[in-house]
Amino acid sequence: MTESLQGKVALVTGAARGLGFAIAERLAQHGAQVWLGGRGVAALDEAAKRIGGNTQSLPFDITDDAATAAAVARLETEGGLDILVNNAGNRDRRPLGQLDRNDMRAMLETNLVAPFDLARRAAVLMAARKAGRIINITSIAAEIARGDALYTASKGGLAALTRALAAELGSARITVNAVAPGYFATEANRDMVADREIAAHLARRTSLGRWGEPHEVAGAVAFLASDEASYVTGNTIAVDGGYLAHF
């Protein structure tokens, strides 16, 4: 798949670090022009520098309507959009008794409403090209749960949104799929990675017996973004080391 995305333009949200950075880096390695979305200008610029190639920062807050509209307008004027990766997300692991309606609203704004808004705006640009790829980063929490009500509900909604958009946008030759990561060793999970009890849990609970590495999600996204996945839509690929399959 080397250079399989040559000439394509991609936007990856939450691209300054973690899974988003790995995804952006992989798409760039396959020849795409990649815009790095996020709120921190300095972090995005540093990420773009590390990735190199035809990679640029696009700072904006995905929960801000005006900022999102301006970002998509910039994409339209500077070459359009072929690939959208809705990766940015939030998490609040507090127990139910410590949460209220506003906490749920905030989670949904980031994890569900913002991907919906970006997808609907991106679809206009993609329809003009008569092709496009929308890839949502969900979670195995969309299928199973251990509490974590806000995150689980929002990712379940994003998985359902993926199917609905696939059904609606297929006639415009836009595919919509999701990648559902399991446990990944990212900066955000640094404390969990160092926890021996969690390591022991993964050794028992996953088929591969370990944490995932960010580049292992990036490969699945690159596949869905490529022509090799031209007849794949409405699906979720679990990249979880066998967590969902293993009991």
Q: Which of 151, 183, 231, 243 is catalytic?
A: 151
Give residue 8's pLDDT.
97
What is the mean pLDDT of the segment spanning 169-194?
91
**186 band by pLDDT with thresholds 50, 70 and 90:** confident
Q: Examine the pLDDT at 190 and tell me if it is beyond 90.
A: no
Would residue 243 show up in a list of annotated catalytic residues for this protein? no
Classified as helix, coil or strand, 178 is strand
Percent of the chain at pLDDT > 70 equals 99
Q: Examine the pLDDT at 65 and tell me if it is beyond 70.
A: yes
The answer to whether the beta carbons of residues 47 and 23 sit under 8 Å apart is: no
Give residue 2's pLDDT.
57
Convert the pLDDT of each residue in 26-42 to its tens digit.
999 999 999 999 999 99
What is the mean pLDDT of the segment spanning 122-142?
97
Convert the pLDDT of each residue in 40-61 to its tens digit.
999 999 999 999 999 999 999 9
Across the chain, mean pLDDT equals: 95
Q: How many CB atoms lie within 10 A of CB 163?
A: 16
Give residue 187's pLDDT.
78
Q: How many CB atoms lie within 10 A of CB 206?
A: 20
**93 band by pLDDT with thresholds 50, 70 and 90:** confident
What is the mean pLDDT of the segment spanning 122-138?
97
**247 band by pLDDT with thresholds 50, 70 and 90:** confident
Percent of the chain at pLDDT > 90 equals 87
Which amino acid type is present at position 69? A
Residue located via tokens 């609907």 = 120
Rounded to the nearest angstrom, the gap between the alpha carbon of residue 98 and the centroid of all alpha carbons in its chain is 28
Q: Examine the pLDDT at 1 and tell me if it is beyond 60.
A: no
Buried b (16+ CB within 10 A) or exposed e, 207-242: eeeebbebebbbebbbbbbbeebeeebbebbbbbbe
- The highest-level CATH class for domain 9-234 is alpha beta
Which residue ranges make up each domain of the chain? 9-234
Q: What's the pTM value of the predicted model, to 2 decimals?
A: 0.95
Pairing state between β 132-137 and 83-86: parallel
What is the mean pLDDT of the segment spanning 171-200?
90
Q: Examine the pLDDT at 7 and tell me if it is beyond 60.
A: yes
The answer to whether the beta carbons of residues 144 and 244 sit under 8 Å apart is: yes
Q: Examine the pLDDT at 221 and tell me if it is beyond 60.
A: yes
